[in-house]
């Protein structure tokens, strides 16, 4: 999903999951003004492996 209001995913309050193409992993964005995320291996909604 691309936000029309924010160029950076970490700046968009609606974006909560990020995919890192370099490391091929997913993370939950920590919206504290920085660019931190917590890595996840399973979908937070359905529990399937990512």
Tens-of-pLDDT digits for all 50 residues of the chain?
678 899 888 999 999 999 999 999 999 999 999 999 999 999 999 999 99
Please check whether residue 2 lies inside any domain of the structure.
no
Nearby residues of 29 by Cβ (< 8 Å), 6 or more positions away: 9, 10, 15, 16, 17, 18, 36, 37
Please report the sign of the dihedral spanned by the C-alpha atoms of residue 6, residue 8, residue 12, residue 16: positive
Distances (CA, A) of 25 to 5, 46, 49: 25, 17, 11
Please check whether residue 24 lies inside any domain of the structure.
yes
Please check whether residue 49 lies inside any domain of the structure.
no
Total of domains in the chain: 1
pLDDT of residue 9: 87
pLDDT of residue 1: 62
pLDDT of residue 2: 76
Please check whether residue 47 lies inside any domain of the structure.
no
Structure token digits, residue 2: 């691309």
Tokens 């660019």 identify what position? 35
Please check whether residue 4 lies inside any domain of the structure.
no
- Boundaries of domain holding 35: 9-40
Please check whether residue 3 lies inside any domain of the structure.
no
pTM over 0.75: yes
């Amino acid at each position: 999903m691309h936000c029309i209001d924010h160029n950076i995913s970490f700046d968009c309050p609606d974006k909560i999951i990020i995919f890192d193409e370099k490391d091929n992993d997913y993370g939950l964005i920590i919206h504290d003004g920085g660019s931190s995320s917590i890595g996840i291996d399973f979908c937070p909604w359905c529990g399937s492996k990512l």
